[in-house]
Amino acid sequence: MSISEVVKLECCEIDLKATDKKDALHKLAELMKRSREFRNIEEEQIFAALNAREEMGSTGFSKGIAIPHCQLEGLNKFIVAIAVNKKGIHFDSIDKKKSHIFVTIIGPVDKRSEHLKLLAIVSHIFKEPGVIENMLGTTTKIGLYEEFLRNANTEDTTISRKGHDKLMILIVKDEQIMQDVTEVFIEYGIQESTIIDTQQMENLLSKVPLFMGFFNFTGEKNPFSKIIFVKISKDHINAIIKGFEDIFGDLESYSGLGVMVLDLFFSKGM
């Protein structure tokens, strides 16, 4: 089992907002729910399973680390979420100090040995020099995700830190959402993109004498249209699309933004 397959970027958070342990468990359940693997499992079920495990004994360890985990009926794959709260949350840790980094593991009920192995891998990662400080210092979700995987023990698991690159194409039809789109990219550590000004077909046709009268472009259509090209890892696609849908809702029913992802056959110099 590859740890890069079970750690989900969409389930990473650099600013976990929680006031106490129960609130943290609720927020972690909410974070887990971002994975498509939980589409048929309610958020309250995830919280209940995590909370039941905590009642058996706290998963808060020393050095500000907590590893909440549980097994869940109806789940076929392991999912790992990573969250950071820099101020710290009282999590009944063994050293009585606040927990800052939360690595949540939820797996199928019939894979006990794999579950134990994942716990051992996570525990080993935090023994690597500097990993705790580096994870607390990350400012993007991708940075947190990659810092964690960078310190995984390759003898215990196969790691593929970066998948094949893909070309994500965004068609932005509303000028007011450009800042939101940019903020999602920044949140996930994407700082390079190519933006092209374009024209919608209605704009072009409205200026052709033959079609005048059919398209009242200046009165009814928004002339704003841009295409954004971004090269990303395939492992990041679901997280970024989820980030957009957190803001705009289901993109299938939202007219201001369209997203396509294409295989990138070759790239050089970018």
Residues belonging to the active site: 69
Q: How far is CA 204 from CA 87, 208, 212, 215, 225, in A?
A: 54, 7, 10, 10, 13
Q: CA 29, CA 11: separation in Å to the nearest integer? A: 10
Q: CA 59, CA 52: separation in Å to the nearest integer? A: 11
Q: CA 152, CA 133: separation in Å to the nearest integer? A: 16
Picking from 101, 80, 99, 103, the residue whose alpha carbon sits closest to that of residue 89 is 99
Rg (CA), the chain: 22
For 163-268, strand residue ranges (E) read 165-172, 194-197, 226-233, 257-263
Tokens standing for residue 220: 């009814």
3-state secondary structure 140-152: CHHHHHHHHHHCC
How many CB atoms are located within 10 Å of the residue 178 CB?
Answer: 15
Tokens standing for residue 172: 């932005």
Tokens standing for residue 165: 């690159």
Q: CA 210, CA 194: separation in Å to the nearest integer? A: 35
Q: CA 17, CA 39: separation in Å to the nearest integer? A: 23
